[in-house]
């Protein structure tokens, strides 16, 4: 599952439209954070996270904001067992990059957590509009 989450996160980052990424990257750091924070949905927050990610330490903050946006859709709805499962998966994201060097490893772990939260939001959260 961790490999699938890494693959998904990588796909999100690589599939982001270059024009959208360039637009986001021209904004100041705080404006990029606000853009993600004010996203109307988990999926939009994840899309913006992918567009705004630059492969540096700022991605940690962007990933945390996207994670929190997605968690708002499902966290209170989880049973105790589902909550433990989610927490174990978060730990795997963190442990998978514990030995990494520098902020890139921490940024990838933040992306892993955000992707995990998005998948839980899809599974346990509000129905997505079609």
| Domain range summary for the chain, segments of one domain joined by + | 2-124
Task: With a cut of 50, list the residues of the chain below it in pLDDT.
Answer: 3, 7, 13-19
Q: Cα separation of 79 and 115, whole Å?
A: 20
Per DSSP, 128 falls in state P
pLDDT tens sequence across 98-121 = 766 678 888 889 999 999 999 999
| Ramachandran angles phi, psi of 51, nearest 5° | -70, -35
Strands (E), 1-130: none
pLDDT of residue 97: 73
Q: Cα separation of 113 and 9, whole Å?
A: 9
Give the side-chain half-sphere CA count within 13 A for 26. 5
Per DSSP, 66 falls in state H
């Amino acid at each position: 599952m961790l490999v699938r989450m890494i693959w998904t996160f990588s796909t999100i980052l690589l599939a982001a439209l270059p024009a959208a990424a360039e637009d986001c990257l021209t904004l100041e750091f705080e404006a990029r954070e606000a853009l993600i924070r004010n996203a109307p949905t988990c999926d939009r927050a994840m899309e913006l996270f992918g567009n705004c990610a630059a492969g540096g330490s700022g991605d940690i903050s962007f990933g945390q904001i996207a994670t929190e946006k997605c968690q708002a859709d499902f966290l209170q709805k989880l049973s105790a067992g589902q909550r433990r499962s989610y927490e174990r998966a978060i730990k795997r994201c963190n442990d998978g990059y514990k030995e990494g060097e520098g902020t890139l490893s921490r940024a990838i772990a933040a992306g892993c957590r955000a992707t995990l939260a998005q998948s839980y939001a899809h599974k346990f959260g509000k129905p997505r509009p079609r």
